[in-house]
Chains A and B, each alone.
Chain A
């Protein structure tokens, strides 16, 4: 049972890692707009559109 002294801190570290990733995402504005991406996903990706969009998204 003494393994808990290893496992518990490890689990806490994971938790901290997850929170860190979340805070990073928040800081980069990923949670600013939750409605539009949901709509975008449902749009059909027509093949000729795909390549021009890829070109456009590269800055």
Chain B
């Protein structure tokens, strides 16, 4: 087992420090003192950054830094893993994920972690320069998917994958062609229909202008006929091909007797077209082709915007599919064979070789190795496992083969549950769209009644105009603005929020956040700075230089706090350091054996005198995290580390409460500390819990959801399941890739203030949506009135409709849902 583990940089905790003046040449973040090498021009904060930089230098790609400067993304250290990616070379894998091209070329699509900016595009697309044998490398940054073509004779996919990993972009297999090919087809068809509708609308409108001109000055018969038939021809593809989207929906709604927006739309379009066609054929009477085609076009634009929003939610679910393995090696009666991972029965024994993903949740039966559970916990530090340890599906086995007794497989694994929940979320129709659907039921009835009334009235007054008037009414009351108002308002709000560093996945998150609910905050890193500082020291001062030496190589927040506190102590070297994730460390310094860690960690390794026990409770009351320092078997000192609460936390929580939300805290930290923080922030004690495990967090969120909305705010590490179970999961700064996928909102800016901004913005967005709906109904009312009065003619309809759409569009775009400068 290696003495010092590879640690990711601390930027995710937002740490500021003044440890000597060195900044990492690769990521620009501060370099821990112990890693500084005197006299060298280039300094690096971690092994990951060293790897990436040397790779770039080797490949002659140092221009990367210039590209990155142009884009100026957030500084983040490179995360490079130990994986060998040997499973990428398996025949079964290639069968599923690779495509053979002409000659010896093969192509594959890989999902890449960590590609978020233009400089990453630059780098990934220059892979051919770094790795001869790669013919082409193209990145789709929105979906984070790289399409790579390589020469099979020269290279193996595992080598390609390893290189990408060394650049800091861990690749995963794309879960393949099936569902996404279908979605692509649907999306492309919609775009095609949109284009046809647009072309038809443009042409029909031009011809209509001619006809309107002819309304005021006499037009000769043959030209009238030309333009009328011309508009009819233009309308045909629009109504029957582009419009089929609505007709199919309307038919389905009729059959199942459920209200749906497509009903009034389809009704208006078909009636308008039918009557217009009849009038064109018989040579006189009103035609509405221009209004209808523009209607179809605008409604399809609304549909298009909606489909793009659904797309990003679906992409996130696909990511988790890609990360969960599909096959496993089952050990049965002495032989090993490959079976689909989802079919593993509980109690089965599977073999997981080094470099492979664990295929199911279970306990290690034999073998010792280290596992990378970053998928679920965000910790890229490898965790040692041995017989009896629990492992989860999706984790990567790093060093040697393991045999695991399966407990849960397929959809029941943690990853499987997460994926399922995310898929459900993606399929959920946004509640605000449901509102529009409900409205449409009453709407259709209202419109039909109005049409019937018009027919009746006019049959008495002037029968020749009766049908004309009724049709005019049906056409003008078509819910064009209604269909556009919502997706447009949501789309604009999402765009604005993104510019403020608030990335929201879908409109339904905004709709949920607009109503009062319970905000559950994680403590460390969310409500607090995440920067630990040494506040109090009780015990032997002589240990200071020794503690400094022991903690010098770590980038853990606790280690940094010690490094800062003891900067001026004389130098010493630790001959041996061994860290345990989430527990503490053991070190040999100056002939002594030091054990430094949490109460639980130290208790099993050293004696704890009575005065220390008393001091621990006292510190917890003061909201300090106790860290015990034992020397040669006995605890000789107790350090109290404090994590200052963020300045904007108190104010933000007050603001949230003022909006009608309730606030709670769930944290894995010491209960005493959590309670002290709660007291300071005004959170009622029954809503503040400490010492909570990820499973307990999930249970709490699920329980609290009964009867009210729960909004979970966490830094993503260990919170993925709870985030996904909440009504809205909000991931703060620095989360694991899977947590980013599981959360509905991601806040780029540190601090609690963005949460308040999000809540306010959501409320305003809902207001804008309602306003848009109001405007549309107003226009429809006016239209009905004019139609009933017999005043409506195609010209007026042609003016009313774009006017209503324009009002709704302007209302959406000019609304200040998320204000402030771009961040």
A binds B: yes
Residues of chain A at the chain B interface (Cβ within 8 Å): 1, 4-5, 8, 11-12, 15-16, 18-19, 22-23, 26-27, 29, 31-33, 35-36, 39-40, 42-44, 46, 49, 52-53, 56-57, 59
Question: Within 8 Å of chain A (Cβ to Cβ): is B346?
Answer: no
Among the 9-residue stretches B24-32, B72-80, B195-203, B320-328, the one with 4 or more Cβ atoms under 8 Å from chain A is: B195-203
Q: Which residue of B lies closest to A39 (CB)?
A: B118
Q: In the complex, which of the residues A1, A12, A39 contacts B230, with contact meaning CB atoms closer than 8 Å?
A: A12
User: Complex Cα distance A16/B198, Å?
Assistant: 12
Q: What are 7 contact pairs spanning A and B, CB under 8 A?
A: A12-B233, A23-B192, A31-B191, A33-B142, A35-B140, A43-B122, A44-B66
Majority SS of interface residues in chain A?
helix
Q: In the complex, which of the residues A23, A36, A43, A57 contacts B141, with contact meaning CB atoms closer than 8 Å?
A: A36
Whole-angstrom distance between the Cβ of B617 and the nearest chain A Cβ: 55
Given A8-B226, A40-B121, A56-B135, are A18 and B199 also a contact pair (CB < 8 Å)?
yes
Residues of chain B at the chain A interface (Cβ within 8 Å): 63, 66-67, 70, 101-102, 105, 118, 121-122, 125-126, 128-129, 134-143, 149, 184, 187-188, 191-192, 195-196, 199, 202-203, 207, 223, 226, 230, 233-234
Q: Which residue of A lies closest to B118 (CB)?
A: A39
Given A8-B230, A31-B191, A46-B63, are A36 and B121 also a contact pair (CB < 8 Å)?
yes
User: Complex Cα distance A5/B203, Å?
Assistant: 15
Task: Say yes or no: B141 contacts A26, CB within 8 Å.
Answer: no
User: Complex Cα distance A26/B195, Å?
Assistant: 10
User: Complex Cα distance A16/B196, Å?
Assistant: 9
User: Complex Cα distance A2/B233, Å?
Assistant: 20
Report how many A-B pairs have Cβ atoms within 8 Å.
Answer: 84
Which residues of chain B have C-beta atoms less than 8 A from A52's C-beta?
A: 128-129
Task: Say yes or no: A26 contacts B128, CB within 8 Å.
Answer: no
Task: Say yes or no: A19 contacts B196, CB within 8 Å.
Answer: yes
Q: In the complex, which of the residues A18, A33, A57 contacts B136, with contact meaning CB atoms closer than 8 Å?
A: A57
For the complex of A and B, the 3 pairs showing the least CB-CB separation, nearest first, are: A39-B118, A56-B128, A33-B140
User: Complex Cα distance A15/B187, Å?
Assistant: 23
User: Complex Cα distance A23/B193, Å?
Assistant: 9
Which residues of chain A have C-beta atoms less than 8 A from B67's C-beta?
A: 43-44
Q: In the complex, which of the residues B139, B188, B199 contacts A15, with contact meaning CB atoms closer than 8 Å?
A: B199
Which residues of chain B have C-beta atoms less than 8 A from A59's C-beta?
A: 101-102, 105, 135-136, 149
Task: Say yes or no: B142 contacts A40, CB within 8 Å.
Answer: no
User: Complex Cα distance A1/B105, Å?
Assistant: 61
Given A31-B191, A36-B142, are A4 and B223 also a contact pair (CB < 8 Å)?
yes
Task: Say yes or no: B102 contacts A23, CB within 8 Å.
Answer: no
User: Complex Cα distance A33/B315, Å?
Assistant: 14
Q: Which residue of A lies closest to B184 (CB)?
A: A32
Whole-angstrom distance between the Cβ of A16 and the nearest chain B Cβ: 8
Whole-angstrom distance between the Cβ of B497 and the nearest chain A Cβ: 17
Which residues of chain B have C-beta atoms less than 8 A from A57's C-beta?
A: 136
User: Complex Cα distance A5/B222, Å?
Assistant: 10
User: Complex Cα distance A36/B233, Å?
Assistant: 38
Whole-angstrom distance between the Cβ of B754 and the nearest chain A Cβ: 24
Q: Which residue of B lies closest to A12 (CB)?
A: B203
Q: A8-B226, A42-B70, A42-B118 are in contact. List 12 more A-B contacts (CB 8 A).
A: A8-B207, A12-B233, A19-B196, A26-B188, A32-B140, A32-B187, A33-B140, A36-B141, A40-B121, A44-B63, A49-B129, A59-B105
